[in-house]
């Protein structure tokens, strides 16, 4: 039964991922759709960050928010992304210690 669930989950996850490969192979988009698709990564980053970051520690939304704030500051200062991640983890660690 669990195997069946896994295979079903794999199929419904794979189809939305693969279909676009065939779409772009067949269809040429007008420029406004290209601009839309080019903006998708930035929009996705926004939608993935907020409000999800509030639930890093579900009962204390400020913890995730402060971890994010440190990440923003370190990123603006031009730190390497690994250091940004470490700085943010450390912040949350000390806030919840």
Partner 1 sequence: MPSNVMQNTHRSTRLIMIQKGISKGLPIMMGYLPVAITYGVLAKQAGMSLFELTLMSVLVFAGASQFMGAGMIAIGTGAIEIIIATFVLNFRHFVMSLSFMNRLRGIGLNWKVPLSLGITDELFTVASIHSDEAKQDKGVYFYTALILTGYFSWVFGSFLGGVLGDVIPEALSQSMGVALYAMFIGLLIPSVKKELKFGMIAIIAMLTNAIFSQFLDVGWAIVVGTLVGGATGIFLLKEDKA
Site for partner 1, rule CB under 8 A:
1-10, 12-14, 16-25, 29, 31-32, 34-53, 56-57, 64, 67-68, 71-72, 74-76, 78, 81-82, 84-85, 87-93, 96-97
| Structural tokens at position 48 | 């993935």
Shortest gap between Cβ of 33 and partner 1 (angstroms)?
8
> 53 and 68 in contact (C-beta within 8 Å)?
yes
Shortest gap between Cβ of 31 and partner 1 (angstroms)?
6
CA 63 vs CA 26, 33, 93: distances in Å: 47, 38, 9
Shortest gap between Cβ of 11 and partner 1 (angstroms)?
8
Q: Considering only CA atoms, which of 45, 63, 46 is closest in space to residue 54?
A: 63
- Other Cβ atoms within 10 Å of 91 Cβ, number: 19
């Amino acid at each position: 039964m669990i195997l069946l669930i896994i295979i079903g989950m794999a199929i419904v996850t794979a189809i939305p991922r693969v279909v676009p490969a065939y779409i772009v192979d067949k269809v040429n988009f007008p420029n406004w759709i290209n601009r839309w698709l080019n903006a998708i990564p930035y929009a996705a980053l926004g939608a993935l960050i907020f409000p999800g970051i509030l639930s890093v520690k579900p009962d204390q939304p400020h913890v995730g928010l402060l971890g994010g704030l440190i990440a923003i500051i370190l990123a603006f200062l031009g730190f390497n992304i690994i250091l940004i991640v470490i700085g943010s983890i450390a912040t949350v660690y000390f806030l919840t210690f």
